[in-house]
Amino acid sequence: MTPILQARNVTYGRTGGRTDRQGFSFTRSARPPILKNISLDLKAGQTLGIVGASGSGKSTLCRILSGLIAPDEGQVLYQGQDFATASEAVRKKIRPAIQMIFQDPAGALDPRQTIGDIVGEALGPVPDRDARIRTALQDVGLSADITHRYPRTFSGGQKQRIAIARALMTRPCVIIADEAVSALDVSTQAIVLNLLLDLQKRQGLSYVFVSHDLAVIRHLSHHIAVLDQGRIVESGPASDILDTPVQPATKALLENTY
């Protein structure tokens, strides 16, 4: 099966000045890179689980895979095309195909916007905008009649469903979920995870699912990569990693999970 998304020898966090995508300059302190020589493959229609303790570099890796920031070294390939260092015109074409879901649904939704404006923001003034918004909301199990309401009137699980609906609006092939259920209670986590599985089956989505919780990763993932201090220390089929872990970092995560 051909990988739809790949990282090749990605390193991020070297010392010295740097400019981000928005043109702001900043300088990193003299310390080891946040990510070092990361290589991984996401196969079409499957889920790659990325696990690691707090501070291991998971969120930074998400932002690099989604194109929000560029690596200092290495490549990020979507369907074989390197977009990490590509021109803005190339990134603009690829960007709708890779969407991201963040950890805190409340923080990810603008409280000043209605649900319709939030979900449809990425579309712009297309002719079928309203119909697509309603369809996306229904796809995540919400009523199409909530478009006039504001985020404050919804629970945490409902807010994350709204965030998922927003991610679906550009008809992506890849969704990167950064700790997407960690802010939810256990019962709501299960509902959202089952929703993601259903969407993957119906729409052929590919997921990069990032978590510190191996119980959550077990529920979703076909393959797993274990991140420790900015490096992938163990990777392979989910059953191999979870049932016969080799590295101390993986064993420690399992001990903390079960």
| Domains of the chain, residue spans | 3-257
Average confidence (pLDDT) over 192-203 = 94
Average confidence (pLDDT) over 220-240 = 95
Q: What is the pLDDT of residues 78-120, one digit of tens each?
A: 999 998 878 888 888 899 999 999 888 888 899 999 999 999 9
Tell me the C-alpha distance between 216 and 194, whole Å.
11
Structure confidence at residue 218 as a pLDDT band (50, 70, 90): confident
User: pTM of this prediction?
Assistant: 0.88
Structure confidence at residue 49 as a pLDDT band (50, 70, 90): very high
pLDDT(121) > 70? yes
Structure confidence at residue 17 as a pLDDT band (50, 70, 90): very low
Task: Please give the CATH topology (third level) of the domain spanning 3-257.
Answer: Rossmann fold (3.40.50)
Which pLDDT value is given to residue 115? 96
